[in-house]
Amino acid sequence: MVARHDQTTDPELLAALLQARRGTAFFARKLNELSDAELDGDSLLPGWSRRHVTAHIGYNARAIARLIQWAATGVETPMYPSTDVRDHEIDFGATLPPIALRHLFDHSAVHLNVEWRDLPEDAWHHKVRTIQAREVPAAETVWMRSREVWMHAVDLDNGAGFRDIPVRVLARLLNDITGAWHARGTDAGLVVKVTDRNLTYGDATSDSPTLVSGPLAAVVEWAAGRGNDGVSAAGPAAEAAGGAVPAAPKWI
């Protein structure tokens, strides 16, 4: 008989799994609050309706489940054959009847959860490859999913905000985003200060930086390109924009 509990006993991994499952439940709540007609409305992502966001989250669960199957069996099973296939899949999913779209989300979430639950302890260390061609341990898939469900629950534009995302998720998101900027060198002359956490990121070498500051939730919202409510800016880029908060560097 298959055990009905996670095979891993790693406390950090169990905590991460709980966070991802809570994010999935949060996304489900915001999705289920929408009527079928409201699924046709715009999301917070340019060019994407709420249907696109929902399809993306459903197919993302299936893609991550394929990585877990790879970790479990050793048989290479990519997330997607290509980014073009992924994009086509999302566009197709957005055309599904509302009940089919909702079932896609529900069933794929359950499938991924079962794959996580049944993965043996040692297999969490097995390497898999993301759509960006990064080799990561299977344990990294938990964060990959957590990030998607929490952020895209906000993108449904149904009353959720970055303030609803747990602090641990927000902090790791900001680390990911600022790390991507640094790797590309796009944070030159930019300093980001989180006022309610006493955290600072960015170009510490600049003599005259543009400083963007605000509480954690507002800073992550700005850094992720979702808006600038609650943040302020000072320095060259802000002055050039007439005192406005400059757009964040591209993240992904």
Tens of pLDDT, residues 31-84: 999 999 999 999 999 999 999 999 999 999 999 999 999 999 999 999 998 899
Same domain, 104 and 20: yes
At 12, which helix (H) or strand (E)? helix 11-32
Same domain, 178 and 127: no
Same domain, 26 and 138: yes
DSSP secondary structure letters along 91-103:
HHHTTS-HHHHHH
Same domain, 184 and 154: no
Q: Which amino acid is at 107?
A: H
**Do the domain assignments include residue 247?**
no
Compute the 3-state secondary structure of the chain and give helix, strand, coil in percent, each to the nearest 5: 55, 10, 35
Which of residues 105, 137, 160 is at a domain's end?
160
Residue 56 CB burial class (10 angstroms; 0-12, 13-18, ≥19): buried
What's the pLDDT tens digit per position in 112-155? 999 999 999 999 999 999 998 899 999 999 999 999 999 999 99
Residues of the chain with pLDDT > 70: what percent?
97
**Do the domain assignments include residue 245?**
no
Same domain, 222 and 175: yes
**Do the domain assignments include residue 136?**
yes
Q: Can you give the residue range of the structural domain that contains 19?
A: 11-160
Same domain, 30 and 113: yes
Same domain, 152 and 27: yes
Q: Distances in Å between the alpha carbon of 33 and those of 58, 59, 72, 227?
A: 17, 21, 36, 23
The size of the chain, in residues, is 252
Task: Supply the pTM of this predicted model.
Answer: 0.93
